[in-house]
């Protein structure tokens, strides 16, 4: 498809979704809170309240950036505390999990990096790996403990000559999911390219061929089936972030 057309369609969809969100984000209970407001002018009032809430969410991004300690490690747990089975979660059902072909797979690395090459799986598997047993916390509130293994993302970023002073790293996934994280979190020692879950090759439902495992962020900031990543100074947003979920979403 013509990429311009695709972009345009994306923007249109995003604006429709944003409007839906505006309508949904205020219930009658909220309107009742706005005593003295002209209720016949509800939509405008919604827009104004939504503007304040969005500004507060941006403020919370900054506050969480300051709170984030690059050296503070997420707690690790004994194997006996692992949640089995580890829950599946995505914006679609488990029967719609994308199957990525391992032989065709090429990881695209772009943006502010020295080496803009693509990576095949055997090359990625050859990188030195670490393991972690950490708690995955979902924005919905539930949590589960699992074991992930793979190379440190910071090692990978250094290897490709990424501009480590850039602000963001963005991710595009095989299931059309996308998200982005701050550079400080990308360089955190526990942020890993998880090729394994429970010492086995990462199964499709957990994001084959790999997911970025970030124990210092909520689950939806851990992209699965990553096909491309890019280093940038322009906020790339994200699938849920663009619908109103807090961008930083740190733990």
At CB < 8 A and 24+ separation, what contacts does 195-201 make? 195/124, 195/125, 195/129, 195/149, 195/150, 195/151, 196/129, 196/131, 196/148, 196/149, 196/150, 197/86, 197/146, 197/147, 197/148, 198/82, 198/86, 198/146, 198/147, 199/131, 199/147, 199/149
Task: Report d(CA 125, CA 210) in Å as an integer.
Answer: 10
Pick the binder of other proteins from 39, 48, 51, 54 (CB under 8 A): 54
What is the x/- site pattern for other proteins, positions 191-220, by CB under 8 A? ------------------------xx----
Q: Pick between residue 75 and residue 128 the one whose CB is nearest to other proteins.
A: 75
- Tell me if 69 contacts other proteins by CB under 8 A: yes
When computed from its CA atoms, the radius of gyration of the chain, rounded to whole angstroms, is 20
Q: Pick between residue 54 and residue 200 the one whose CB is nearest to other proteins.
A: 54
- With contacts defined by CB under 8 A, name the span among 120-128, 164-172, 225-233, 237-245 that binds other proteins: 237-245
Instruction: For residue 119, give both structure tokens.
Output: 């990576």
- Tell me if 146 contacts other proteins by CB under 8 A: no
- Tell me if 47 contacts other proteins by CB under 8 A: no
Task: Report d(CA 185, CA 167) in Å as an integer.
Answer: 10
- Tell me if 12 contacts other proteins by CB under 8 A: no
What is the x/- site pattern for other proteins, positions 88-107, by CB under 8 A? --------------------
Binders of other proteins in range 20-39 (CB under 8 A):
21, 23-30, 33
Count Cα neighbours of 249 within 13 Å in the Cβ-side half-sphere.
Answer: 25
**Residues contributing to the site for other proteins (CB under 8 A):** 21, 23-30, 33, 52-54, 56-57, 60, 67-69, 72-75, 135, 137-143, 215-216, 240, 243-246, 250-251
């Amino acid at each position: 498809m013509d990429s311009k057309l695709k972009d345009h369609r994306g923007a249109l969809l995003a604006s429709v979704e944003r409007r839906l969100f505006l309508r949904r984000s205020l219930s009658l209970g909220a309107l009742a809170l706005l005593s003295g407001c002209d209720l016949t002018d509800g939509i405008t009032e919604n827009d104004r309240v939504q503007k304040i809430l969005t500004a507060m969410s941006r403020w919370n991004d900054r506050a969480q950036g300051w709170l984030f300690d690059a050296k503070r490690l997420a707690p690790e747990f004994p194997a006996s505390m692992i949640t089995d089975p580890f829950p599946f979660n995505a914006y679609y059902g488990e029967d719609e999990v994308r199957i990525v072909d391992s032989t065709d797979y090429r990881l695209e690395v772009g943006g502010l990096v020295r080496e803009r090459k693509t990576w095949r799986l055997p090359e990625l598997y050859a990188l030195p790996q670490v393991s972690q047993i950490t708690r995955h916390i979902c924005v919905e509130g539930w949590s589960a403990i699992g074991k992930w293994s793979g190379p440190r993302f910071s090692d990978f970023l250094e290897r490709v000559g990424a501009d480590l002073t850039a602000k963001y790293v963005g991710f595009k996934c095989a299931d059309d999911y996308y998200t982005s994280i701050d550079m400080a979190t990308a360089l955190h020692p526990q942020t890993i390219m998880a090729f394994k879950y429970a010492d086995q090759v990462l199964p499709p439902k957990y994001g084959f061929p790999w997911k970025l495992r970030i124990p210092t962020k909520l689950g939806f900031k851990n992209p699965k089936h990553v096909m491309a990543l890019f280093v940038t100074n322009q906020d790339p947003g994200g699938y849920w972030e663009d619908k109103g979920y807090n961008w930083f979403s740190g733990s």
